[in-house]
């Protein structure tokens, strides 16, 4: 049997200790350049999730959906909502909101009707959040529609719902006489 020198044993021991130490480098906490906090440059537009608790951009306040839109529904806002609805929503939801748009007639899954009791009772913030983040097979539209336009669509959807479920009490008194038979 050959004798192994002391220096050979030290070399082998050093290699074993060195190889064992390399594994610890894998689990070492480190921070990449993208994880370091950086100041936001002036005049920039934020991308990604909106600031928490901002009802204009999230539709939520304190974790609960807003019952009403933060915008007052005017004729101009509803006209803008109708235009955006026809461009982005009507292909699936149909122009009347019953969920029978052109893509549904060609085999795409039907979305729920806006005239279902569940969606008529849903808060405005819920509708805004679904437009923003998407739901089921519906894509998110936050990157295509500004928050003001999303709120305008919510207003237009509410007008559609009201138009399909109006009662005689909703008609102004001066106009009722024209609707009633003599």
- How would you write 120-155 as a 3-class SS string? HHCCHHHHHHHHHHCECCECCCCCCCCHHHHHHHHH
| Of 8-12, 27-31, 116-120, 132-136, the least confident | 27-31
How many independent structural domains does the chain possess? 1
Residue 30 or residue 172, greater confidence: 172
Report the pLDDT value the prediction gives residue 45, as an integer from 0 to 100.
Answer: 61
Average per-residue pLDDT in the chain?
A: 82
Residue 112 or residue 173, greater confidence: 112
Report the pLDDT value the prediction gives residue 94, as an integer from 0 to 100.
Answer: 94
Closest-CA residue to 134 (of 146, 121, 143): 143
* Residue 94 structure tokens: 């149909």
In a domain, 159, yes or no: yes
Report the pLDDT value the prediction gives residue 65, as an integer from 0 to 100.
Answer: 82
- 28 pLDDT higher than 80: no
Report pLDDT digits (tens) over 8-26. 777 777 777 666 655 555 6
At residue 36 the predicted structure's pLDDT band, cuts being 50, 70 and 90, is low
What is the domain range of residue 87? 74-166
Report the pLDDT value the prediction gives residue 158, as an integer from 0 to 100.
Answer: 95
In a domain, 89, yes or no: yes
Contacts (Cβ under 8 Å, ≥6 apart) of 129: 58, 59, 60, 65
In a domain, 31, yes or no: no
In a domain, 178, yes or no: no
Report pLDDT digits (tens) over 129-173. 999 999 999 999 988 999 999 999 999 999 999 988 888 888 888
The DSSP 8-state label assigned to residue 113 in this structure reads P
Q: Could you tell me the CATH number of the domain that includes residue 131?
A: 1.10.760.10
Is the four-CA dihedral 15, 19, 20, 24 of positive or negative sign? positive
Contact 111, 138 (CB under 8 A): yes
Report the pLDDT value the prediction gives residue 113, as an integer from 0 to 100.
Answer: 94
In a domain, 119, yes or no: yes
In a domain, 96, yes or no: yes
- In the chain, the percentage of residues whose pLDDT exceeds 70 is 78
In a domain, 142, yes or no: yes
**Quick count: other Cβ atoms within 10 Å of Cβ 128?**
25
In a domain, 25, yes or no: no
Contact 128, 59 (CB under 8 A): yes
Report the pLDDT value the prediction gives residue 55, as an integer from 0 to 100.
Answer: 60
List for the chain the helix, strand, coil content (%; round to 5): 50, 5, 45
């Amino acid at each position: 049997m050959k004798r192994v020198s002391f220096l050979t044993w030290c070399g082998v021991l050093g290699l074993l200790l060195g190889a064992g130490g390399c594994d610890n480098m894998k689990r070492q906490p480190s921070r990449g350049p993208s994880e370091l906090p950086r100041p936001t440059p002036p005049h920039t537009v934020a991308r990604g999730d909106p600031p928490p608790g901002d009802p204009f951009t999230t539709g939520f306040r304190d974790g609960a959906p807003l019952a009403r839109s933060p915008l007052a529904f005017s004729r101009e806002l509803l006209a803008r909502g109708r235009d955006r609805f026809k461009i982005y929503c009507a292909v699936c939801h149909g122009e009347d909101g019953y969920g029978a748009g052109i893509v549904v007639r060609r085999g795409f899954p039907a979305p729920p009707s806006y005239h279902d009791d569940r969606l008529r009772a849903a808060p405005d913030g819920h509708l805004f959040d679904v437009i923003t983040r998407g739901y089921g097979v519906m894509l998110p539209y936050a990157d295509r529609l500004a928050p003001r336009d999303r709120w305008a669509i919510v207003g237009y959807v509410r007008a559609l719902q009201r138009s399909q479920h109006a009662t005689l009490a909703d008609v102004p008194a001066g106009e009722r006489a024209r609707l009633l038979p003599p």
